[in-house]
Structure 1
Amino acid sequence: MAQKTVNYVNQLRALMKNPKYVKESIQAYIIPSGDAHHSEYLAECDMRRAFISGFTGSAGTAIVTESAALMWTDGRYYLQATEEMGEGWTLMKEGLPVTPSQGKYLSDNFSEGSRVGVDPNVLSYEEWKIIQNDMKGSGVNLVPIATNLVDLIWEGKPASPSNVVVPLAIKYTGKSCKHKVEEVRSKMAEKGSTLLLVTALDEIAWLLNLRGSDIDYNPVFFSYVLVTQTQVHLFIDESKVTLAVRNHFNEEDLPVNIHAYNKIHSFITEQIPEQTGKVWISSDGSYSLNSMVPEKIRISKITPIALLKAIKNTVETQGMINCHIRDGVALCRYFAWLEKELQKGNAVTEISGADKLEQFRKDLDDFVGLSFPTITSSGPNGAIIHYHCTPKTDRPITTKELYLCDSGAQFNMLQNIYTKATKLPLFPIARLLKDVIGTIIAAAAYLILAEEGNCLDTLARKFLWDIGLDYLHGTGHGIGSYLNVHEGPMGISWRTYPNDPGLQEGMFLSNEPGYYEDGKFGIRLENIFYIVPATVPFNFKNRGFLTFRTVTLVPIQTKMLVTSLLTEKEVDYLNSYHRECREVVGTKLKELGHQEAWEWLYRETEPIG
């Protein structure tokens, strides 16, 4: 791979000067992670950054210049990028004070008149603006290159997937697609918008109550949607639209005009002159599509769908709760099995463990698949935050090292995520204790309605900060309802989210502080919670207060805790949480006849203190 990436970079540099593809030579070329829909996870045909560099993480931006090849990525992927990148690549550790932004690097290293190229179809309008603003005053120009240069050197590039789309019944969605479109039109009218262009794949799937499989682990399909006050237009490969989909639209009383996927640009060109109001398109949409809409009539904000989707209705909420109970059964069965196998001296590896966990999940009703590749990491592999196990890196799971399992599943009614670090014998680890405390405090927090998530991030980090430690990832992210594992527009992180609407009742988020020591171990405790109204003595200025309710019901391994260091509040929290695990998941295990898993659960939830 190392030599291949060197060859690819050299071929790319030649194309940067080829007048057949660039009217005037460019001195640098940006290769973002995303596709035409700003997706976090990609179909194989869109993995251009991975192809050119060897780095397969879900976040990162490559820049190739005439003399350098650089990769910007965040703390989740520092170790992985270092291990995977080919020869000649330099890691730019995003998020550290010493690391310049992409635009700052370009403005500092190129002279006035230099040209930086990028495919405008795979760079969002928001990202374009950020890079352009960072280069402001330098005379370095960001220019669109219509032909993707990586595609020109990618021999054997996978074809775009053409999997069929399936309807999702209203018993899972809680609202018909007609109802959802009416809600969206109401939001459009409030902003004076007569046309909404939807580019995010999960927003389209949610709006139309459809699901697909064009991207692994993400039940979405390649498409665009245009909504006006009277019509809905769906742009999609028509081979994906089955009779069941057409019947679905009829049953939910929503007429939908279907067009070829590649007709979106020409259709927008025709539609814009006809608009009497504003055209709404998210700034997360591509620069190519955003730039087609004159700025004076463009609303460049997150779409109304983003927030409607993030706030789960009662059916979605109950589905989330039910599914976590169901998945808790699979996880308890897995950890009971794992403990027994290791006690018997049987070999279990990261890969065989992940396979066994998936097998337990397949036994569950409505299981569709995993929501991301299971992060199953033993010992030093746990320090790679988003570690992906391969036959080359596979390690045994033993009782002598920490084992971190971060996994999630898709069910027809929702998805779930679960992360725990586990070890069978007692392990003296004050850092884990602090991490648990941070998790507990964050989970028990009260917040003001619409308070932004970054205001809570400090609560989860406080006890690590107190001893001079930290972790290089966000504390929490939104969760989709049988959609993407990472869902905006809200989150809990040291970063601010430009479109954060604030935390609101009905949102589901993860709570996942951690601690990692390179080459040694990783710890992450991740539960999912949803936001509910809080009962508090006062209500300052009638602003409304909220709190979190945890839906993940799998034990926190108390044998790893030095319980004498816990406060009374923390002991009470753990005992209460474990009592609920027994009452809810334990009852389900009994009903299903999983005696060994039930016994394991009861051992792991014995009261402490």
Structure 2
Amino acid sequence: MPSIKATGDLLSQLRQLMRECRYYAQPLHAYIVPSTDAHNSEYPAECDKRRAFISGFTGSAGTAIITLQQAYLWTDGRYFLQATQEMDSNWTLMKEGVPSTPTQELWLIRNLPPNSYVGADPNVMSHKTWKSLQEQLDSFGHKLAAVETNLVDLVWSNRPAATNNPIVPLERKFSGKSIKDKLTDVRLQMKDKNASILVLTALDEIAWFLNLRGSDVEFNPVFFAFVIIVPDSIIILMDSHKVSPTIKEHLKAEAGDVKVHIDCYTKVKDILKQSINEYKDGFVWLSDDANYGLTSIVPTRRLKTEITPSALMKAVKNAVEVQGMRNAHIKDAVALCCYFSWLEKAIKTETVTEISGAQKLDEFRKIQADHVGPSFETISSVGPHGAIIHYRPEPCSDVPITADTLYLCDSGAQFKDGTTDVTRTFHFGTPTEYEKECFTRVLKGQLRMGRAIFPTKIKGNCLDSFARQFLWDVGLDYAHGTGHGIGCFLNVHEGPMGISWKNFPDDPGFEEGMFISNEPGYYEDGKFGIRIEDIVHVTPADTVHNFNNRGFLTFETVTLVPKQTKLIKVDMLTKEEILQLNAYHQKCRNIIGPLLEQQGFIEAKNWLWKETEPI
């Protein structure tokens, strides 16, 4: 079981600050602590994990609301079980997505006394979230208060220092496009929107645009910076000690005749104000995910908040990035085949735990060319731990991997040419008939999604039911999305598109060149978890007709790791599904087999052949 953090003293200290008027002119009746940082990052650096610090809940998604008497934590279905195991009795879990759970806004409106002040740090809350919350609170007489000093920081006595690791250039053979060429495309879109200033705040967008990579956030090859694009130059805000001669040379070579100015990261607000005063015409364009501390600087009449050009451009990989993603998944498949073949034998002769197994997998990945590190912390989960959707093995929860139960392994790697994310579920002994039925229903949904054909620009939430159909047939489901975008040597979760029952407001619709995960699952608390995840490439489909010349697309699976046939109830599969699975397994043999042989992994090749026998 994960350790439970005692939060009583911290909450008392925070409430005292809320009552005082040192950091805001009025006493606060509630204080909101989101998960995000100044860049709206899904996975913030240690120094920015304020919600985890104050609540004890360490999942990647969630919002804490502390009143003078109570403390509540909103999170989604991926984390219900984890949250109950990590939070102490001071906290109440609010299950997002469950019909009976009120939204954060509705809960505040229902429970606060009249004319209450709700505090939040505008520098770590997105413009979109701030404005929506502000509007709803205002309509009921409450006020959303911008508390510029983060109150959690004041009670966090041992808060880690901000990371300021070196940054490195990404060679053109991996990026495929120069800064100057990217800027040309960005400026065209700025012109179309009558924007004279564009501010990039998302760390992965900045890394992509500048063809630079860093390590300020664990697992994500990004660095702390802001970028302001004005009519005659690019302004980069980052710590000066990161700007080595190599970085200067890279920027000069990549930007060509475009002026590049570098200033201090902490001066972003001052530089933005100066830019607004200097360039008085046209809109100032920021994403609506930019923090409200920045968007509030811009005069309302000049503010444009919508998805940035770089976010959309980054989602559609260029030809070099497409090939890099393919290469990365081939290398990853070699490592995973080595790991699973080793694991199947090792558990019979030695003790292999969730943690030591994950470490062994890392060793196999490190052998591959241009390996940088993991793309997230490996979810190596045995039996009941598999039901914790984002389980993270720790010494206090670590258990042996055995042949007696299901083993779910969700892992990924950063290579210089691409990012990977793959989940496989295995049983190294004799699975129950019920486990096989559940696995087969998940597999059928995954195969159905994998062969989907759909019109260009269709949005991901239109496809979600394909993956759930065979679970829904018998009243089963899973509480997470079916697919997320993935970066190219960038963040493992990348917007703006996704596949879910939820609508993604900025989803531009699928286009050729996008990469997305295909990962249905099924979980029973206290028993087991099943998930099968591939990364798929959006490619043109060969259709008989072409309605309105719209063009049709399909998915090409780039993950090449066997799906355990032992877990399949073959009589539940259609002929089409059997042909599809057999063709996939033959592709694994054709591409991964020779590489295993070249690298001397003969046992892994024999395992691959065993696992890919046609059914």
TM-score w.r.t. structure 1 length?
0.98
SS of the equivalent of 2:458 reads coil
Identify which of 462, 475, 482 aligns with 2:469. 462
| Preserved contact between residue 2 and residue 87 of structure 1 (Cα < 8 Å) | no
Q: Deviations over 1:312-345 (max 9, x none)?
A: 0000000000111111100000011001112x33
Report the equivalent of 2:494: 487
Q: Which moved more, 1:78-87 or 1:190-199?
A: 78-87
Report the equivalent of 1:292: 297
The equivalences for 1:562-581 within 5 A come to 562-581=569-588
Identify which of 325, 329, 342 aligns with 1:324. 329
Shift of 1:289: 0.7
Q: Does 1:204 align with 2:174?
A: no
| Preserved contact between residue 151 and residue 157 of structure 1 (Cα < 8 Å) | yes
Report the equivalent of 1:51: 53
In 2: Cα distance, 1:255 partner to 1:521 partner: 56
Letter in 1 for 2:604: A
Shift of 1:19: 1.5
Shift of 1:2: 5.4
In 2: Cα distance, 1:161 partner to 1:57 partner: 21
SS of the equivalent of 2:306 reads coil
Letter in 2 for 1:300: T
| Preserved contact between residue 371 and residue 484 of structure 1 (Cα < 8 Å) | yes
SS of the equivalent of 1:196 reads strand
The equivalences for 1:315-394 within 5 A come to 315-342=320-347, 344-394=348-398
SS of the equivalent of 2:349 reads coil
Report the equivalent of 1:16: 18
Q: Does 1:311 align with 2:316?
A: yes
In 2: Cα distance, 1:432 partner to 1:442 partner: 15
Letter in 2 for 1:403: Y
In 1: Cα distance, 2:317 partner to 2:553 partner: 15
Letter in 2 for 1:544: G
Letter in 2 for 1:80: Q
Q: Which moved more, 1:406-415 or 1:289-298?
A: 289-298
Q: Which moved more, 1:424-433 or 1:27-36?
A: 424-433
Report the equivalent of 2:79: 77
In 2: Cα distance, 1:295 partner to 1:452 partner: 31
Letter in 2 for 1:356: K
Q: Deviations over 1:496-535 (max 9, x none)?
A: 0111111111000000000000000000000000101111
Report the equivalent of 2:123: 121
Identify which of 219, 222, 244 aligns with 1:220. 222
Alignment length (residue pairs): 607
Identify which of 34, 37, 41 aligns with 1:35. 37
Report the equivalent of 1:279: 284
| Preserved contact between residue 461 and residue 470 of structure 1 (Cα < 8 Å) | yes
Letter in 1 for 2:290: G
In 2: Cα distance, 1:83 partner to 1:130 partner: 31
Q: Which moved more, 1:64-73 or 1:426-435?
A: 426-435
Shift of 1:596: 0.2
In 2: Cα distance, 1:324 partner to 1:162 partner: 30
The equivalences for 1:59-208 within 5 A come to 59-208=61-210
Shift of 1:426: 3.9
In 1: Cα distance, 2:612 partner to 2:502 partner: 35
Q: Deviations over 1:526-564 (max 9, x none)?
A: 000010111101111111110000000000001111112
Report the equivalent of 1:231: 233
SS of the equivalent of 1:535 reads coil
User: RMSD between aligned alpha carbons?
Assistant: 1.0
In 2: Cα distance, 1:3 partner to 1:504 partner: 45
Shift of 1:24: 0.5
Identify which of 529, 532, 535 aligns with 1:522. 529
Shift of 1:226: 0.4
Q: Deviations over 1:125-146 (max 9, x none)?
A: 1111232344352112211101
Report the equivalent of 1:419: 423
Report the equivalent of 1:431: 438
Letter in 2 for 1:182: T
The equivalences for 1:442-591 within 5 A come to 442-591=449-598
Shift of 1:451: 0.6
Report the equivalent of 2:262: 258
| Preserved contact between residue 202 and residue 483 of structure 1 (Cα < 8 Å) | yes
| Preserved contact between residue 34 and residue 62 of structure 2 (Cα < 8 Å) | yes
5+ residue gaps, structure 1, are none
Alpha-carbon spacing, 1:581–1:538, altered in 2? closer, same or farther (3 Å): same
Q: Deviations over 1:146-176 (max 9, x none)?
A: 1100011110211111111110000000001
In 2: Cα distance, 1:547 partner to 1:2 partner: 45
| Preserved contact between residue 47 and residue 160 of structure 2 (Cα < 8 Å) | yes
Q: Does 1:606 align with 2:610?
A: no
Alpha-carbon spacing, 1:327–1:414, altered in 2? closer, same or farther (3 Å): same
| Preserved contact between residue 404 and residue 430 of structure 2 (Cα < 8 Å) | no
5+ residue gaps, structure 2, are none
Alpha-carbon spacing, 1:568–1:133, altered in 2? closer, same or farther (3 Å): farther
Q: Does 1:396 align with 2:400?
A: yes
Shift of 1:178: 1.2
| Preserved contact between residue 225 and residue 233 of structure 1 (Cα < 8 Å) | yes
| Preserved contact between residue 111 and residue 138 of structure 1 (Cα < 8 Å) | no
Q: Deviations over 1:43-81 (max 9, x none)?
A: 111011111111111000000001110000001111111
| Preserved contact between residue 5 and residue 56 of structure 2 (Cα < 8 Å) | no
Letter in 2 for 1:97: P
In 2: Cα distance, 1:153 partner to 1:496 partner: 37
Q: Deviations over 1:456-494 (max 9, x none)?
A: 001111111111010000000000000000000000011
In 1: Cα distance, 2:121 partner to 2:68 partner: 18
| Preserved contact between residue 5 and residue 86 of structure 2 (Cα < 8 Å) | no
In 2: Cα distance, 1:210 partner to 1:137 partner: 45
Identify which of 419, 443, 447 aligns with 1:440. 447
Shift of 1:86: 2.5
Shift of 1:453: 0.2
| Preserved contact between residue 35 and residue 50 of structure 2 (Cα < 8 Å) | yes
SS of the equivalent of 1:76 reads coil
In 2: Cα distance, 1:464 partner to 1:140 partner: 44
SS of the equivalent of 2:235 reads strand
| Preserved contact between residue 511 and residue 527 of structure 1 (Cα < 8 Å) | yes
In 1: Cα distance, 2:247 partner to 2:272 partner: 24
| Preserved contact between residue 111 and residue 139 of structure 1 (Cα < 8 Å) | no
| Preserved contact between residue 432 and residue 561 of structure 1 (Cα < 8 Å) | yes
SS of the equivalent of 1:516 reads strand
